[in-house]
Structure 1
Amino acid sequence: MKNRTLGRDGLVSSALGLGCMGMSDLYGPANEQDGIATIHAALEAGITLLDTGDFYGMGHNEMLIRDALREAGSKRDNALISVKFGAMRDAGGNWVGMDNRPAAVKNFLAYTLRRLGTDHIDIYRPARLDPNVPIEETVGAIAEEVKAGRVRHIGLSEVGAETLRRAHAVHPIADLQIEYSLISRGIEKDILPTCRELGIGITAYGVLSRGLISGHWDPSRQLAANDFRSTNPRFSGDNLKHNLSLIDVLRAVAADKQATPAQVAIAWVLAQGSDIVPLVGARRPERLAESLGALKLTLTTQDLARIEEAIPADAAAGDRYAAYAMAHLDSEK
């Protein structure tokens, strides 16, 4: 497993990270033992970065990671645990707002430490910008936890260039977690250059656009009621038909490389810079094994040009989230 550096404070991560959300929530039914087996396989393959949120399954995902680490007999320091906080939900799983107040930061962190069974979080970040709380106050509260040893590094998620600058002025930001894929390239205009200017790494989620460009998506697939992709504009009607047609070039490149479309899509993100760590959202060991194959794949300059000619930056049809969720993205303003 190759490593990549995030930020300027010495945070070293595996070149691929594992996004654990789908093991507990939001992508329809999930099998807990499959999730644990996938985490074990990731650790065995040398993946160190495990990404979660305290609101994924209302704490279930953190406890799943705790159990997986215990069962694997892994030393805590062999894993980098990244946690998002601030998104609030009710007993029905509905989203009821953001809370990034300093007092809330300390409260959320205390519960997370207990659920994970650890004394520190490697990267702690607000899931979204709270419009009612200045980012300086939120980052300042996390910085206090860094001084106390309960947090090692501070990250952000889905914020724009101005917010990045304001936050970084309070405390060094290790990484920005944000959606980045062949069909979600909005960060390239302002956000990515700002991160590079400030020395902030990128942990890229949605590198397969939630399965859309994986090569495995069946257009006739019926989504479960609790699968949030059912509300995602890119997965509906003519948008879905158009977006699935975009991966024809990935299939062609994959055939030439004896690879899969998913591996080509992940390799494309890896090729965008050594300061970018793709998060793969595998829920089963076999899907993880496929994603790991991207690390062995080298895309030439000609390959990259061929892909980007067929899939320009604005090729996707439909927003990447439903309107109510887009409204909470500081990165889209």
Structure 2
Amino acid sequence: MDGKKVILAEPRGFCAGVRRAISMVEQALDYYGPPVYVRKEIVHNHHVIRALEGRGAIFTSSENDVPEGAVCVFSAHGVSPEVRGNARGRDLRVLDATCPLVSKVHQEAQRFARAGRTILLVGHADHEEVEGTLGEAPASTIVVESVEDARALDLPPDADVAYLTQTTLSLDETAAIIGTLRERFPALAGPATDDICYASQNRQNAVKALAARSDLVLVVGSANSSNSVRMVEVARNAGTASHLVSNVEDVDVGWLDGTTAIGVSAGASTPEFLVDQLVDRLVELGYDGLEIEETATENITFTFRPVWQTEEVVQP
């Protein structure tokens, strides 16, 4: 069939927080030499993790698995005060790669907790970001995962409540949950600005635009990447078939039957070379037209001091 094309989303791929976090691990490896320990996955992409492991990074499930006195990087998703305390107790050389936008949510949780409010944390309970934010005020925080959870909250209408959200959620789904909370709690307080990060918003908006022009949307990202999974959901909710692929080998050519326009995007923790490989494969399959769907321009960067100036625990 003639006229087959790929429509490539812009923006896509790495966000500022991901670039900052990866750079911190790379700089730590350059400065200290391997091994450098990283608590959890620095970002949720298997290709990034394997590349850093190849340079000498060791990923652990807990700060308690890091040898005493060793260099330990906290992931972009943030950690609880308990984790920080454990790291201090082990005399770890801590480098904090928490995304500044996640740190903002932590600060908001602290503020609402000091004010005596019950915090309704909209997000996925098993996600590392939510675990970290919940840890700021565990006794006064309730995780709300769905509209059904919001309706089932056992709190009076005049309860002194505030909401916060995970930064990588679906805009539409989150709006529905917050709308339900506002109906139930008229005095509901919230953050000064939206917690869902600019990168998640931009990538979801771009996917909506792709869905309107494509027969199929492919999102490159790992299955444990919340923002990548949300992008697939956004495309499907817009009425277009969509699949998450971690790399080009995941593509089922049967998905392409009857399609002439395929939209391609990537989650905020996905390296660009994976997108290039996917586009090359689609060209081989006859989708040799290429168009760019640009919905936003991103020029945000998050800087950080050199690692030797950022240790939270400095060894004598």
TM-score, normalised to structure 1, is 0.29
TM-score (norm 2): 0.30
